[in-house]
Each structure stands twice: as structure tokens, then as C-alpha cells.
Structure 1
Amino acid sequence: MTSPAIRKPRVLVIAEAANPEWVSVPLVGWSLANALREVADVHIVTQIRNRDAILRAGLIEGRDFTAIDSEKLAEPMWKLAEKLRMGEGKGWTTIQAINAISYVYFERLIWKQFGPAIRRGDYDLVHRVTPLSPTISSSIAGKCRRVGVPFVMGPLNGGVPWPKGFDAERRREKEWLSYIRSAYKLLPGRTATARNASAIIVGSQHTASEMPAKCARKLVYIPENAIDPERFSLQAAPANGPLRASFVGRLVPYKGPDMLLEAAAPLLRDRRMTIEMIGDGPMGDDLKAMARDQGIDHAVTFHGWMDHKDVQSVLASTQVLSFPSIREFGGGVVLEAMALGVVPLIVDYAGPGELVVPGVGVKVPCGTRAGIVADFRAELEKMAADPAALWPMGQAARDRVHALLTWDRKARQVLEVYDWVLGKRPDRPVFF
């Protein structure tokens, strides 16, 4: 006699930002929401701007997902945010503050359409995947609690403080609101949302430290980012010749591309090292001029912006991801490098500092600018002296990512959270 099949939990996944064709938060939202479809009976609720990309990905509207049209408020709010941010790619704290206003309307429309089904018990639980920001509250959390349906949110991540000594970079990024960001903790919606949630998945230890102390028993740490093995399927080759390094990211002050060139200049000049620079941004022309002035332009290749699916071909041709960013929330590029067997050299702060454990990469302290440059130079000197020594570390990094940090694995970790809030397991799951 065969045992009855175990029914998958029925989950309404709220992912306001979820787009398989974009990067950053929308890609995180899409990747996790889509991966959850393998372990749960999922219906995704997203914003209308993501509709066409999700259809192209093969999902069926109405059956697999619903696109909520909140553009009546979202579009003017986005235009206002673009004006207030004072520059392309700047003022992200301002963007989040404006988005918080339009998100209230988005949730109102969700409840209008799905509230009756939630009250009927058509869903075992509701999971808000995005927004990732812990500053944006949820009215649906309280409504779910009142009708006895568990509400899960996360991975929450963001708001990493600017390190001391980098105030100039902070101002160049137009992060004026970051000086008063902690005021969000006084908002009544923040406390109510945390109180009404059955579980809160935190994407970083910093975010965990910012949550109300009374909610500590609800927190489950799962890093924000993961990788899709199909997108990052190549494997870095063993060393052959000078050290080959890479940088992937926007060319902006806080990511430190200028610190990297300054640190690596002696090795580049002596042809002991090369750098593949992937990304564009406002510092692009200045970095190229810096390379010419330092006499290192022969050893630095500026690729500019590349489609996300094409990044791995360049990244896998290198042995080390040299990434001196001083303010990364999730550090997705660090995981992508590790998945290819490329050793990350990073600043020990926030997301990257949590992802790089002993044996899979190298971390330098988050000190002053001069200190980071000096420490990066010292580590690059060691690597350039023996590039072959990076191979076993790269393989350890690859093994760790494929064992713990793929989207499929993350979906199974979240399923354990679902089981916990639904009473199918007695203890809170711990993964890291």
C-alpha cells in the first residue's frame, strides 16, 4: 500500500519587483519566486511592469501569476523620485522613500483582489518576497494575522551604514536621506508589520541587528542572493601566466574601482597582472584617464556594460574577483564569481563579508581608503607571486555555492521556514 502524496503548501507570493530580464532586486524577486514554484503551489503577484517579461519566461497569466496595475500612483511617484535623486544611479535612499509611498497603494490593490481568497483559506500562507527593504511595512501582514493565515516576509536586506572615512563618496552618491535613515524605526507600521509576521527571513546579519528585539525568535538568516547554475555554468581555468583579475559592477565611488587601480598599479605596470573591468558608470572616463596616466592601460580592459548572461564568459577567464566595494547589501557578484571557481578578494563589510568564509576567498578590513588600498595591494602581490595557489580555494568556493547558495537550494530552505510556521516542524530552521 502506497503512502498518500504530501500536498505542497499553497502560497501567495507577493513580489512587487520580479523580472527575469532585469538585474538587482527585480532579478532576486523573480529568481526566488520562480524557484519556490518547485517546492510549493505558488501564485505570484507582481507589478504590471513585469508582466511581459514573465510571459516571455513561460508563465501563464491568471494561473501562475497576476500582474497588478498600480501605475496610477507608481508612475508619477517614480518620476518624482527620478527628479529628487539628482543623477542617474544616485540617491537610492530617496528612491526607497518614494517607493514606500506607492507600495502602500500596491498592497491595497492586492488585498482588494486576493483578500476574499485569503479569508476563505485558499492559501496556506502569504510570503512577501519583495520589496527587500526592511523600511517598507505591510498592511497585509496584519490582515493575514486577523484571519489566521501566516505571513512570511523576506529576505529583508539593506540600509548598511556608510563606513567612517567615506563621507565624500556618500555625498557623491547623493545619499542625503541616509543621514536620517534610522528614523524609519520610529514608524508605527514597522513595528506592527514585524509583530504580525509569523517569520522574517533576513538577508544579512546587519538587517537582523536592526529588527525589533521582540522579533528575534521569528528571524531566520538566509543570504539575500543566490545563483542560477544554468546562468553561471562555466568554470575558471587554472593559472597560466600572470595573475588575471576582474572587477564587475557600476563604476561609482563606493564600489572602489579607483581604489583597485591604485592598489594594482605596480603589478599592472610590471605586467604581473591584468584586470578585466566589467560595468559602466559616471567614473568610466576618469578611470580610463587614470589608467593612461599611471601607465597601466595596456593591462586593463574596460568592457563597459555587458548583458548579465554574458558576464560569466569574461569573469571565468580570470582567477580572482578584485572587488573593493565598501557598501554592498547582498553582494550577488561575489556569489557569481564563487560559482565559477573565481576567488573573491573583498572588503570585510556587509554582504560580501558574510558570504566569504575562511577557505573560499580573501577579506581585508574595512578601514580607511588608504588602508584598503594598501591591504588590497598586499594581497594582490601574494596572489601574483603564486597564481596557481588560487585554484583549490576557487574550487572550495564553487563547491560551497553549489551546495548552499543556488536558487533551488534557497527555495528548499524557505520551504523549511514554511513548514515551521505551519506547525510541521517544532524548531526554527538554521542554515548558516
Structure 2
Amino acid sequence: MTTSPRRIRPLIIAEAANPTLTSAALVGWSCAKAIAAQTDAHIVTEWRNRDDFLRAGMVEGTDFTAINNRRLQHLSWSLATKFSRKGSFSWSLYAVLSNLVYPFFERKLWQTFGPRLRAGEFDLVHRLLPLSPTTASWIAPRLKKIGVPFVLGPLNGGVPWPQGFDDLRQQERDGAGRLRAFYRFSPGLKQTRESAHAILTASRTTLHEMPAHLRSRCIFMPENAVDLEKFPLTPKAPAVTDPSKLLRISFVGRLVALKGVDMLIAAAAPLIRSGALHLDIIGDGPERERLQAMAQSENITSGVCMDGWIPHAQLGARLRESDLFVFPSIREFGGGVVLEAMALGIPAVVLDHGGPPELVPPGTGYVLPMTTREDIVTRLRQLLTELREDPSQLHTAGELAQAHVRKFYSWDAKAVQIHEVYRWVLGHRAAKPDWGTPMGFASQIVDSEESMQPMPQPLLIPDHGF
């Protein structure tokens, strides 16, 4: 009689993970929870997340441990809030301050788990959060010393500002971002990377920042995925084909200057005025009043919905009313909302900069070149006009987008990918997992059985510029 192999026992560090928040906190929670379903994981988070973990059904001591580093975490958040521009929180400044206080969290973690790691209670340690590639790990060299494998990432950040948008950088007051050039001198960062058995890089920007001799340890894996309970992969009805009906497009995100919503309004305005298109802007922020004034000056208020945020649980139903999702952000690390639209069968339009274009393979949507503001508006208007005249291609693109999400970007798929990384660092598989860079773009991928399988070539529709 054969026995089934023992499940892998990772200790997952997810300091900011929280099921009730958004952005990195929700990514950390969703990913850690999915990994825990595949393994015998134990999650370590910060004390401020404890009550939300408990309300989500996690058992303290068995499923997770909360480390109390609240005083320093609160200090970094308060200072970042104080020195941020009113109405626009400086995430770059917060990243700098968080890097200064994070080592204290890991020191407390080591006090609790160091003896258990030496005793072999865990097979490996996976630092899932922070996402920042500039955050050193105080425990990484200690894990190397006691022979416990260390997995780092997904790491993302450091997307440069595109040329020609210096005014927006000044508007965002991203002075702290200029300090990032000095991160290479951060104490312990070199040791952190050298001690890692696997480094998950969530973007090509982060991958290219890694020293050449560490590339063999790097695996491309964007941090985002989709909650299929909120964004189910059910077939979407074909887009409008009757010329008398509206083409409905949408945007979701913070209403700040770098999201490019003003370019979207300018591009769509002639079509909205003619009654051919409706624009749904979902979100809020310091730009909302200016964008509303812009819609009024363009005489298109009747064709633009801009009524603020809606609960994330309701977003899927609202997005499903759209035929096309447009996300013209000029500087975006991840772009999880792009995947959420794709999961609903809605093709996306993004700019070729940062994380979003790495989520949209040819045939699943549209990637416009990152050029000047005027050129982006012109290209986007041409694309919207073309799709209004021939919307039939949207249905094919939406089906391919859903297939891409199903294969690579559900949280279950993400957990399977990470499980294969664990198997690799533990010596349970010989070949390093590789799903292409960006994921799914390669002509071939390595599946979980380590055999080479050809990737089906997607149907091509007008894509990636003009």
C-alpha cells in the first residue's frame, strides 16, 4: 500500500494581508489563503489584521499568527499621510518609511518562529508581502544559515515615469520616488536576494533589475489574480452589433491624474456627443471635480456616469454592462482591475508601460503605445471609432481574455503555480517552472508535469497599436 506524499509546510510572511482592504493587502490575503488550500501553510501577519483574519474564519495559532508591530507601522503611515499632498496619498513615501520599520516586524517574527524553524517544523519560508523589491529581509540570511529555503515575492515596483509626463509627476509630488535610485545601497538587500532560493518577479521591470547571476532563480509571476466568486468566468453576451445602439465602455480606479481619465474623456467625447458611446467612470479621488467639469465643457454629461465608488462585491455586475474596459494609466505596477474585466469577457485597452500590458496578450485586448498625451488621445479615439463601427471583434477578444484568466490568473491557478515553485526549491521537480515572460506570451510553457506543451496561438484582432 502506497501513502500519499506529505503536503508541503510553508511559513508564509504576509505582514499587510487583510481580507477587508484592497490593493497589496487584498492580494496578500487572497494569495496566502489560496496557497493554504494547497499546502499545510501557516500565515504570519501584523497584529492590525488579526480581527479581520478571525472574522474570515481563520484560527489563530493553527492557521495564522499575528505579530504586534503596531506602534511603528502606525508611525510610518502617519508620517506618510502628513507629508502627502492633500487628497493624494504618497505610496512612494510610505514605501520608504515602511522599509525602515519592517525589520522590526521580522525580528519579532524570528523570536517566535526561529526555534520552530530550526526544529524542522516548516519546509520553507515564503515572504509574500511586502511586494516592494527594495525591502530587505532580516531573516533571509538566518534561514540560509539553518538550511531552510527562502522564497521571495512576487516583487513589483519601480516602474519609471514615462517621458513627457513630468507635469503629472510634479502634481503627484513623487519626490520620494526619486530616492529609489539609492535602494541598491539598502543594508541587507544584497544578502536578501543572495539568500533566496527563488525570486518571483511580477513585472519585466523588476526582473531586469535583478543582478544577472540571480536570473536563474527568478520566475516571472504577476502578483494579481481574480476572485472568481466576484468575477465569474461565465460567457458574456456578444457586444452591440446594431448601429443604433450604444457602445458601452468603462473605467475603474482612483481618480488621480496619472490614471489618464482626462485622456479617455477627450478621446471619447465626439462619440459620446453623437450618441454612439456611453462612458462609465467608477471611482473617486481628487480629480473627480475637474473631470466632471471637463465632461460639462465637452457637453457630454448625459453620456458619462461618474457617481463614485461602489463596493467591490458589486463591481462585477456593474462592469458586465460594458463592452470594453479602458484603462489609460500612464504608470501602473499591477493592474488587477484589468484582469477582473477580462474575467468577465470584457477586452481591455491599456498603454504599453508598466504592469497592465503584461496581462493582455495579443488577441485578448488592445495595447496602445506610450507616446505623448495628444497622440494617445488620437489613437484611442481611432480605436473607439473602429470598434463602434465593427464591434463584432470584441466578443472574440473577450472569449480569449476569459481563457487567459482561466489558465493563469485565478487565485487557484496562482496557488498551483506557487506550489510548483515550492516543489522546485525543495528538489521535488528538476526543471524551474516557466510560464513565459510575460506569462502566457511565450510560444511554449512548462506545465506541472515538466513536459513541454505548445501554446495555442490566439486569433489576432487589431491590437498593440496602429
TM-score (norm 1): 0.98
1:40, distance to aligned residue in structure 2 (A): 1.0
Does residue 351 (structure 1) correspond to residue 355 (structure 2)? The answer is yes
Does residue 375 (structure 1) correspond to residue 374 (structure 2)? The answer is no
Give the whole-Å Cα distance in 2 for the aligned partners of 1:420 and 1:170: 41
Give the whole-Å Cα distance in 1 for the aligned partners of 2:296 and 2:339: 31
Give the match for residue 302 of structure 1.
306
Give the whole-Å Cα distance in 2 for the aligned partners of 1:194 and 1:78: 27
1:179, distance to aligned residue in structure 2 (A): 2.1
In the TM superposition, 1:133-282 aligns within 5 A as: 133-233=132-232, 235-240=235-240, 241-282=245-286
Give the match for residue 414 of structure 2.
410
Give the match for residue 387 of structure 1.
391
Contact 1:276-1:314 at 8 Å conserved across structures: no
Contact 2:219-2:433 at 8 Å conserved across structures: yes
1:187, distance to aligned residue in structure 2 (A): 2.0
Contact 1:237-1:316 at 8 Å conserved across structures: no
In the TM superposition, 1:417-432 aligns within 5 A as: 417-432=421-436
In the TM superposition, 1:32-47 aligns within 5 A as: 32-47=31-46
Give the whole-Å Cα distance in 2 for the aligned partners of 1:326 and 1:203: 18
- Give the letter aligned to residue 247 of structure 2: L
Give the whole-Å Cα distance in 2 for the aligned partners of 1:246 and 1:117: 50
Contact 1:85-1:95 at 8 Å conserved across structures: no
- Look up the SS of the partner of 1:38 in the other structure: helix
- Give the letter aligned to residue 239 of structure 2: A
- Give the letter aligned to residue 10 of structure 2: V
- Look up the SS of the partner of 1:321 in the other structure: strand
Q: 1:187-241: per-residue Cα shift (whole Å, max 9, x none)?
A: 2421110001111001111110111222111101111111011111265432232
Contact 1:344-1:361 at 8 Å conserved across structures: yes
1:21, distance to aligned residue in structure 2 (A): 1.0
Greater shift in the superposed pair: 39-48 or 182-191: 182-191
| Seq. identity, % | 47
- Look up the SS of the partner of 1:363 in the other structure: strand
In the TM superposition, 1:89-104 aligns within 5 A as: 89-104=88-103
- Give the letter aligned to residue 423 of structure 2: D
1:353, distance to aligned residue in structure 2 (A): 0.9
Q: 1:105-127: per-residue Cα shift (whole Å, max 9, x none)?
A: 11111001111101111100000
Contact 1:237-1:317 at 8 Å conserved across structures: no
- Give the letter aligned to residue 152 of structure 1: V
Q: CA RMSD in A?
A: 1.1
- Give the letter aligned to residue 343 of structure 1: P
- Look up the SS of the partner of 1:59 in the other structure: coil
Q: 1:24-77: per-residue Cα shift (whole Å, max 9, x none)?
A: 000000010000011111000001111111111111111100111101222122
Give the match for residue 14 of structure 1.
13
1:180, distance to aligned residue in structure 2 (A): 3.0
Give the whole-Å Cα distance in 2 for the aligned partners of 1:122 and 1:311: 41
Q: 1:364-393: per-residue Cα shift (whole Å, max 9, x none)?
A: 000111111111111111111122321111
Contact 1:90-1:175 at 8 Å conserved across structures: no
1:79, distance to aligned residue in structure 2 (A): 1.1
- Look up the SS of the partner of 2:291 in the other structure: helix
Number of aligned pairs? Answer: 431
- Give the letter aligned to residue 295 of structure 2: A
1:130, distance to aligned residue in structure 2 (A): 0.4
Give the whole-Å Cα distance in 1 for the aligned partners of 2:86 and 2:35: 36
Give the whole-Å Cα distance in 2 for the aligned partners of 1:48 and 1:58: 16
Greater shift in the superposed pair: 174-183 or 266-275: 174-183
Contact 2:235-2:399 at 8 Å conserved across structures: no
Give the whole-Å Cα distance in 2 for the aligned partners of 1:357 and 1:182: 31
Does residue 67 (structure 1) correspond to residue 71 (structure 2)? The answer is no
Give the whole-Å Cα distance in 1 for the aligned partners of 2:207 and 2:340: 24
Q: 1:149-173: per-residue Cα shift (whole Å, max 9, x none)?
A: 0000100001100000111111111
Instruction: List alignment gaps of at least 5 residues for structure 1.
Output: none
Give the whole-Å Cα distance in 1 for the aligned partners of 2:87 and 2:425: 41
Contact 1:156-1:201 at 8 Å conserved across structures: yes
Contact 1:236-1:317 at 8 Å conserved across structures: no
Contact 1:245-1:318 at 8 Å conserved across structures: yes
Contact 1:226-1:410 at 8 Å conserved across structures: yes
- Look up the SS of the partner of 1:139 in the other structure: coil
Greater shift in the superposed pair: 382-391 or 256-265: 382-391
Contact 1:268-1:274 at 8 Å conserved across structures: yes
TM-score (norm 2): 0.91
Give the whole-Å Cα distance in 2 for the aligned partners of 1:82 and 1:358: 40
1:17, distance to aligned residue in structure 2 (A): 1.1
- Look up the SS of the partner of 1:98 in the other structure: helix
Does residue 111 (structure 1) correspond to residue 115 (structure 2)? The answer is no
Greater shift in the superposed pair: 152-161 or 82-91: 82-91
